[in-house]
Amino acid sequence: MQGLYLVTPNWDDTARMLERTEAALAAGATLVQYRHKDASEALRLEQAAALLALCRHYGRPLIINDHVALCQTLGADGVHVGGTDMTVAQARAALGPDKIVGASCYGDLALARRAARDGATYAAFGGFYPSAVKKYSFVTDPELLVQARRELRLPLVVIGGMTPVNAAPLVERGADMVAAITSVYTVVDVAGAVRQFNALFTQHGKTTESA
C-alpha cells in the first residue's frame, strides 16, 4: 500500500463526488475511503455502491469508514475504524482475514501497536496540520513516524490538512500513504493534485502501486 489515499468529503451530491473521485483514480490515486458522517442510510448505500463500481473499474480498493455492515452488504474491500467506532479486533472478526482493516491511531504509538496485534492492515496517524474537515485537539509530532517505522511492519498513513508541500517531510520520515480530502476534491485540477502527491513517493525512492 503506497501513494495517495483518497477520503471522500461530506457531499450529498453523488454525481459531483463520483466525478472528482474518477478524476483522481484516473490520475493514479491508490485507494478510496468512503466517509460521509452526515449521510442518511439510503444516501450512504447509494454513494458507496456507486464508488465501489468506480473503484472496481480502476482496479482500486474501496474501504468504508466505520460501517462494517455496509462493507459486508456491498462486498467492499474493507473498513476504517476510529477511536469511537468498533475496535480493530471486532472489525477483523466480522470481516475475516482477507479484508482491509485500517485503524486511526492519532498521535499514539501504543494504539498503533495494539492495532497491529489485533490484525490491522495499516495504521493511520494524524493530525499533523490544521484540517478544514476535522478539528484535532492535538498536533502529532512528525518524529513519531520515524519510531513507528522502526517498530511496526504495517503501512503508515498520514492525515490532517495534507498538501503536496507539507506532506513531503512525512513521506521522508516513513509515511507510505498520504490521506487527503480538501486538497484533492476542492481544487480546480484534481489530476494535477494527485500527480503532485504521487511525485512525493518517486522523489523518495518509492514507487506508487495499487493496494
Segment 28-80, tens digit of pLDDT: 999 999 999 999 999 999 999 999 999 999 999 999 999 999 999 999 999 99
Q: Within a domain: residue 210?
A: no
Q: Within a domain: residue 25?
A: yes
pTM of the predicted structure, to 2 decimals: 0.93
Structural domain count of the chain: 1
Q: Within a domain: residue 56?
A: yes
The 10s digit of each residue's pLDDT in 72-120 is 999 999 999 997 779 999 999 999 999 999 999 999 999 999 999 999 9
Q: Within a domain: residue 117?
A: yes
Q: Within a domain: residue 95?
A: yes
Instruction: Specify the CATH number for the domain of residue 180.
Output: 3.20.20.70
How far apart, in whole angstroms, are the C-alpha atoms of residue 36 and residue 171? 27
Q: Within a domain: residue 169?
A: yes
Supply the residues annotated as catalytic: 35, 104, 134
Q: Within a domain: residue 211?
A: no
| 3-class SS of residue 3 | strand
Q: What is the bridge-based pairing of β-strands 122-125 and 62-65?
A: unpaired
Residue 82, burial from CB neighbour count under 10 angstroms (0-12, 13-18, 19+): middle
Residue 208 has pLDDT above 70, yes or no: no
